[in-house]
Amino acid sequence: MLYRFVYGALIVFLVVVIERVARLATLPVHLRWELYPVAHEENARYGGSFFEHLDWWKRKRNTSMLGELKVMVPEIVLLKAVHEHNRSLWYRSFPFHFGLYLMALFVALLVGGGVAQAFGVEIGASAPSIGLALHWATKVVGFAALGLMGLGALGLLVRRLTDPTLRAFSATADYFNLLVFIALAVVGLVASITSDVDFVELRRFTQSLATVHLDAPAPGGWVGAEIAMASAVLAYIPATHMSHFFTKWFMYHSVRWDDRVNTVGSPLEGRIVSQLGYKVDWSAAHIQGGNRKSWVDVATEKPEPKP
Amino acid sequence: MKRHLTIEEFSRPSEQLARVDIEDLIPLPPPYDGYKEPEWTRLKDEKRASCECSLDDTVLLSLPKPKSLREERELADKFVAGLQKLFTKENNWTFLQPLVLSMEHCAKCQTCSDACHVFLESGGNDVYRPTYRAEILRRLYYRHVREGGLLSGLTHGRVGMTWTTVARLIELAYRCNLCRRCAQTCPIGVDNALIAREIRKLCSQELGIAPKELHEKGTMLQLSVGSTTGMNSLVVKDNMDFIDEDMSEKTGVKLQSKWDVEGADVLLIHNAGEILAWPENPGAFALILEAAGISWTLSSELAAYDGVNYGLFYDDAQFARIALLHAQAAKKLGVKKIVAGECGHEHKALMVIADRVLTGDLNIPRESSFVLLEEIVNSGKLKLDPSRNNFPVTLHDPCNVVRLMGIVEPQRRILRKIAPQFREMEPHGVDNYCCGGGSGFAIMSGNNFAEWRMKVSGRRKFRQILEAFRDEPDPAQPKYVCAPCSNCKGQIRDLFAHYGAKEKVGLHYGGLVELIVNAMTDVKPGFMDFDAG
């Protein structure tokens, strides 16, 4: 039952992520709305753009993937923008997010350990080399992940409850989301401390999951509860605003840094021409689309001054 | 203790949702320390009785109050219909992706609030948080577009869908300068300023509601007569003739503006407001281009002598119509490129936003005048004497050109060459603050809206200017704020008048080309006359 639940959660997670990515990726190409600094520009250090050059359209553009990485890595790993612009929140938000990153690493270590075990690698405090490293890495990362995630979520919850502005903007789900992470951390820590301090049970479970041995006994008690909760959270995240962990890519690359220039005969121009043919339904007097006029019709007509 | 606004009370009728107490405004630096702003001019009772004025201390749109509950309901329903259209690709391909991303991912952390000059200078009034209006639209979106049903209230929060909500939301969309400083600080990438613009757009394109300064007297006038100033092509040519005469007399250099020169390299498009309000600016442009031997022209085609495109601020259809006219004029003349004059939103409208509207042979290269001017200054074709500009100068960065286009250094490099006492404001460049007149506010003064522009939205810029010249307290020493944008100049003009800044601090303002001409040794000394008017 637990195996099926975890597989089910994983499938829900993947389906929702893919659906959201597909929905965002297939939206029409929009008008440019970049915001400087644009990280891949050669003068990104002060926010400069290719527009600073005379006859910029004749000049070969020098863009830098490294420039994007220099912004994205500290932003993702260290939450640089929150650190710069909202320091008091960062003290709560950073441990929470870093705890989640460690949680992902923890799961990877469990899966890696499970697969290694399936190939006969011994893992434990008295195991040789790789097994010993995996044992300690999993243990340190697991406890750090649960601790940081829980503390961070608690800090965020307290802040949301005590700051009148945040409270005014918060919906029930905002509290619920944080409570879920706190509960997961508590259950995980209790499970680990009381019955699985070396994460042996979890590793055995992930081994069975990874090798599809569904007849292996599934953990019960606190560890079983921890697995079930973690799976439910995994399935839940992409359906909430927390999906920003992957939609942020679109926010930056498709909007903030999307300075692609429309050139005559380019595929981009082809998409624009096609979209200019969309029928318009806006009903204000100066448009009166009525699903009869295209954007080209609207843009090339002289509007009526009065309804 | 300060009372915090909730989202839910936005939809509850009351006489006035938010108030900015004069006491809450952040004090200004010397010599305005101790200066107390006058109390708000109270809106007239007749106004309050007939129009929707229940948002804050001012009113811009003067929406007539519906005559019946039925009419209220109809208007609210129409808003919902518009909201639904806003999230369809056919009706809003232009901004759908950025809008959806900003709608669905805000963590409501309020990081952006401290980046907003309006929120900060109001003393932290909740209604001006970039998140406040966005959160209301977000809740309506989940309820009426995503059709979240009863669950929507639990997952995303509630706000009533009433006429009060709609009337206040439209008005509140016009308390944001669209400078997008908030978006710059968002850790996730949410753009709450875009949401303000999209609310404006929904109201204009579906309900036909927009400030008359932007619509009737703005885009509609430009599309019918040719310019938001009301000048047709004959009048604009007459006015430019006067400017040529005046400039020739003032500078000692014979000047004749060029019109409709086919095959010219450059089609220069000014904000036509310059021609009426700051004629020395187009005059200086003409003088510089002539002195540098540039092949250039102005166009007398409909709308092509006015780079204004207020559609940028509120309406995609109007935007596209005007952008097309600009491009068609350039195509007709066969110019090599269009150069945007000293107008921030013209820059962004023509060079960035229109980029994905103009296709085929209408996609004519477009360039900033700052870049061309830098090339001219560096070319040595002008004989320049920087000592003629030996007075304190600071630079205002128009948001549209700098944060939203990344044109940061060319104008600075010019100033470093020709203005020995150039100093930066803090912060500057892409981190600048808006002048407070952005997104068309500078041309809006109805009722007591100009007071709001001075006391709230423009206060940060005035503070920055005072700080930039803090080491020059003598009002007899002229100090120059170089603001290479018509809209910003209009706002700075009004700020200086409001605070008596010329008399009290010695503050003056103007564009970039005026400083260049003032440094030209071929020009009679004293082109910039700080004692005049």
Return averaged pLDDT per consecutive 10 residues of chain B, 533 residues in all.
85 95 95 94 91 96 95 96 98 98 95 97 97 97 89 88 96 98 96 98 98 97 97 97 97 96 98 97 98 98 97 98 98 98 98 98 98 98 97 98 98 98 98 98 94 98 98 97 98 98 97 98 94 68
Whether A282 has its CB under 8 Å from any CB of chain B: the answer is: yes
Strand arrangement of the beta sheet that strand B422-423 belongs to = B422-423, B393-395, B479-482, B507-510
Task: Answer yes or no: do B292 and B182 share one domain.
Answer: no
Residue B3 falls inside a structural domain: no
If asked whether residues B198 and B137 sit together in one domain, one would say: yes
Domain-terminating residue out of B155, B177, B207: B207
Please tell me whether residues B258 and B229 are part of one structural domain. yes
Residue of B nearest to A26 (CA): B97
Comparing A184 with A305, the larger pLDDT belongs to: A184
Verify whether the Cβ–Cβ distance A36 to B105 is below 8 Å.
no
Handedness of CA B206, B212, B218, B222 (dihedral sign): positive
- Model pLDDT, residue B531: 81
Q: How far is B435 from chain A (nearest CA, A)?
A: 18
Examine the domain organization and report whether B81 and B128 are in the same domain.
Answer: yes
Per the CB < 8 A criterion, the answer to whether B358 and B323 are in contact is yes
Last residue of one domain, picked from the residues B346, B374, B402: B374
b/e string for A248-277 if b means 16 or more Cβ within 10 A?
bebbbebbbbbbebbeeeeebbeebeebbe
User: Same domain for B429 and B494?
Assistant: yes
**B160 and B291 belong to one structural domain:** no
Residue B149: CB atoms within 10 A of its CB come to: 9
Task: Give residue-wise pLDDT tens across range A238-258.
Answer: 989 899 999 999 999 999 999
Nearest partner of B129 among B139, B138, B118, B137, judged by Cα: B118
Q: Within 13 Å, how many C-alpha atoms sit on residue A28's CB side?
A: 24
Which of A57, A248, A282, A295 should be substituted to probe chain B, the one whose Cβ sees the most B Cβ atoms within 10 Å?
A282
What does the alpha-carbon distance between residue B189 and residue B205 come to, in Å, rounded to a whole number? Answer: 27
Neighbour count for residue A176 (Cβ, 10 Å): 13
Answer yes or no: is B529 within a domain. Answer: no
- Looking at the structure, do residues B100 and B123 belong to the same domain, yes or no? yes
Distance CA B520, CA A279 (A): 54
Chain A, chain B: beta-carbon pairs less than 8 Å apart = 274
| Cβ-contact B148, B159 below 8 angstroms | no
Is the Cβ pair B95, A241 closer than 8 Å? no
Q: β-strands B422-423, B393-395: how paired?
A: parallel
Q: Are A177 and A88 in contact (CB under 8 A)?
A: no
Res. A32 pLDDT band, cuts 50 70 90 = very high
Structural domain includes residue B2: no
Domain contains B396: yes
Query: Are residues B79 and B163 in contact, defined by beta-carbon separation less than 8 angstroms?
Result: no
Its domain, for residue B420, covers 382-519
Q: What percent of chain A stands above pLDDT 90? A: 93
Residues 28-67 of A with CB under 8 A from B: 28-38, 41, 43, 46-57
> Residue B1: inside a domain, yes or no?
no
Residues 6 or more apart whose CB falls under 8 angstroms from that of A28 comprise A271, A275, B89, B93, B96, B97
Mapped onto helix, strand or coil, the DSSP state of residue B57 is: coil
Q: What domains sit in chain A, N to C, each tagged with a CATH number? A: 2-26+84-238 (1.20.950.20)
User: In whole angstroms, what separates CA B307 from the centre of its chain?
Assistant: 13
Q: What is the pLDDT of residue A307?
A: 41
Tell me how many domains chain B contains: 3
Q: Which residues 62-121 of chain A have a CB within 8 Å of chain B?
A: 75, 79, 81-82, 84-86, 89, 93
Measured in whole angstroms, the distance separating CA B79 from the mean position of its chain's CA atoms is 26
- In which element (H, E) is residue B393 found? strand B393-395
- In this structure, the answer to whether residues B349 and B400 fall within a common structural domain is no
3-state class of B268 per DSSP? strand
Measured between CA atoms, how close is A58 to chain B, in angstroms?
10
CB count in 10 Å sphere of residue B150: 8
pLDDT computed for residue B147 by the predictor = 86
Q: Which residues contact B197 (CB under 8 A, 6 or more apart)?
A: B95, B173, B178, B313, B314, B439
Instruction: Report CB contact under 8 Å: A38, B352.
Output: no
Same domain for B354 and B497: no
Question: Are the C-beta atoms of residues B275 and B235 closer than 8 Å to each other?
Answer: no
Do B12 and B45 share a domain, yes or no? Answer: yes
Distance CA B280, CA B189 (A): 41
Residue B223 in tokens? 């599309």
CA-angle at B128, arms to B122 and B132, nearest 5°: 155
What one-character DSSP code corresponds to residue B307? -
Q: Which of A37, A93, A275 shows the shortest C-beta gap to B430?
A: A37
Residue B190 sits in the same domain as residue B111: yes
> Could you tell me the CA-to-CA distances from B26 to A40, B19, B456 in Å, in that order?
38, 15, 10
- Any domain includes B250: yes
Which domain-ending residue is among B374, B399, B426? B374
Q: Around Cβ B423, how many Cβ atoms within 10 Å?
A: 17
Cis peptide before A217 (omega within 30 of 0): no
With residue B509 as reference, give the H or E element that holds it: strand B507-510
Burial of B179 (0-12, 13-18, 19+ CB in 10 A): buried
Cα–Cα distance measured from residue A287 to residue A293, given in angstroms and rounded to the nearest whole number: 9
Side chain identity at residue A183, one-letter code: A
The reply to whether B531 falls in a domain is no
ipTM, interface predicted TM-score of the complex: 0.96
The reply to whether B69 and B179 lie within a common domain is yes
Contact criterion met (CB < 8 Å) for B205 and A82: no
